[in-house]
Amino acid sequence: MAVDTPAPPRATARADRASARRPRRPRRPRSTGPSWSSRVAVNTLLAVVAVYTLMPLSWLLLNATKDNGDLFGRPGFRLGDFHLLTNIADLFTHQDGVFGRWLANSLLYSGAGALASTLISLLAGYAFATYRFRGREQLYGLVLLGILVPHTVISLPMYLLASEAGLVNTYWAVLVPGLVNPFGVYLARVFAEAYVPPETLEAARMDGAGELRAFRSVALPMLSPAFVTIFLFTFTASWNNFFLPLVMLNDSSLYPVGLGLYGWNAVLPQEPQLYALVITGSLLSVVPLAVAFLSLQRHWRSGLTAGAVK
| Alpha-carbon gap, residue 165 to 47, rounded angstroms | 52
| Alpha-carbon gap, residue 65 to 261, rounded angstroms | 18
Q: For residues 121 and 181, is the Cβ–Cβ distance under 8 A? A: yes
| Alpha-carbon gap, residue 52 to 46, rounded angstroms | 10
Q: For residues 173 and 285, is the Cβ–Cβ distance under 8 A? A: no
Region 203-229: what's the mean pLDDT? 86
Mean residue pLDDT of the chain comes to 83
Q: Is residue 26 part of a domain?
A: no
Q: For residues 185 and 128, is the Cβ–Cβ distance under 8 A? A: yes
**Distance, first Cα to last Cα, the chain:** 53
Question: Given a cut of 50, is residue 176 above it in pLDDT?
Answer: yes
Question: Given a cut of 90, is residue 207 above it in pLDDT?
Answer: no
Q: Is residue 25 part of a domain?
A: no
Q: Is residue 242 part of a domain?
A: yes
pLDDT of amino acid 2: 47
pLDDT band with cut points at 50, 70 and 90 for residue 310: very low
Question: Given a cut of 60, is residue 210 above it in pLDDT?
Answer: yes
Q: Is residue 6 part of a domain?
A: no
**DSSP per position, 128-197:** HHH---TTHHHHHHHHHHHHHS-HHHHHHHHHHHHHHHT-TTSTHHHHTGGG--HHHHHHHHHHHHHH--
Domain of 202, in residue numbers: 87-304
Surface-to-core class of residue 51, CB atoms within 10 Å of its CB (0-12 exposed, 13-18 middle, 19+ buried)? exposed
| Alpha-carbon gap, residue 144 to 256, rounded angstroms | 28
Region 287-292: what's the mean pLDDT? 88
Q: What percent of the chain has pLDDT over 70?
A: 85
State the Cα angle at 94 between 91 and 98, rounded to 5°: 90
| Alpha-carbon gap, residue 121 to 236, rounded angstroms | 16
| Alpha-carbon gap, residue 218 to 222, rounded angstroms | 7
Q: Is residue 69 part of a domain?
A: no
pLDDT, tens only, 107-145: 999 999 999 999 999 999 999 999 888 888 899 999 988
Region 160-188: what's the mean pLDDT? 91
pLDDT, tens only, 45-76: 999 998 888 888 888 888 888 888 878 877 77
Q: Is residue 94 part of a domain?
A: yes
CATH number of the domain residue 202 falls in: 1.10.3720.10
pLDDT, tens only, 220-256: 888 888 898 899 999 999 999 899 999 999 988 999 9
Q: Is residue 249 part of a domain?
A: yes
Q: For residues 209-233, b (16+ Cβ closer than 10 Å) or e, as one string?
A: beeeebbeebbbeebebbbbbbbbb
Question: Given a cut of 90, is residue 106 above it in pLDDT?
Answer: yes
- pTM equals 0.79
Q: Is residue 223 part of a domain?
A: yes
> Looking at the 3D structure of the chain, how many domains does it have?
1
pLDDT of amino acid 25: 55
